[in-house]
Amino acid sequence: MRSRTALAALLVLAIALPARPGEPASFQVIVHPSNSVSTFTREHLTRLFLKRSTTWEDGAPVVPVDQPESSEVRGQFTRKVLGKSMSAVRSYWQQRIFSGKDVPPLQRASDEEVIAYVRQNPGAVGYVSAGAAPAGVKVIPVQD
């Protein structure tokens, strides 16, 4: 009986706890085929998507592309890569916007739109669902 209770508690915990960075990625990070980057760390991606780092190694401007806040892939990316809740990211951008310091990344409405944008813009970096088939762009692995 006690072991069943413990098992149930573990299951509840497993459901309740937010996704951790070590879990399999449910998204793919993509860049333009001409981009020389071969791997990303979560920290590097965080700097790019919070616009704390705005140039690639060759000096070209970075253009991060987000998906809508309501999308599953945005939630996964925000938690696993940025390590923040959606409300924390929203608050961060409101502070930046209304202090005149910056504006959030561009948003595209779907995986297809993100892929199309990245394909056309050499400085772009975006993310799409794990199940998407990102043709014409380069998928970059993400390390911890």
Partner 1 sequence: MLTWRKVALVAALGATAIAPRARAVELADGKLSINGFGRWDYGRTLVGTNHYAEASPGGHYDSGQLALAFSSRLTDRATVATQVDLHADQRGIEVDWVFGEWKFSDQVRLQVGIFKHPLGLYGEVIDVGTLHPFGHLPQGIYGPTELVVEGVKGVGLNGAAYDRDGWTLSYDAYLGALEYLVDEPFDRLLAPQSLQPGRALELEDEDARETLGGRLTLATPVEGLSFRLSGYGNWVRSDETGLRWVLGPSVEYASDRLTVQAEYFHRHDVSVLRIHTGYVLASYFLTEHLQVALRGEVSETELLALTEGSPLLRHRELAAGVNWWFTPSLVVKLSIHGIDGNRLAKPEMLDDALLDGTLTPTTVAVFGGTSFSF
Residues that bind partner 1 (CB under 8 A): 43, 47, 52-55, 61, 69, 83-85, 87-88, 90-91, 94-95, 97-101, 103-104, 106-107
Q: In terms of CB distance, is 25 or 106 closer to partner 1? A: 106
Q: In terms of CB distance, is 11 or 97 closer to partner 1? A: 97
Structural tokens at position 22: 């070590």
End-to-end CA distance of the chain: 39
Nearest Cα residue to 64 out of 121, 5, 129, 137: 121
Q: In terms of CB distance, is 27 or 79 closer to partner 1? A: 79
Nearest Cα residue to 133 out of 122, 120, 119, 123: 119
| Beta-bridge partners for 41 | 143
- Min CB(131)–partner 1 separation in Å: 26
- Min CB(12)–partner 1 separation in Å: 18
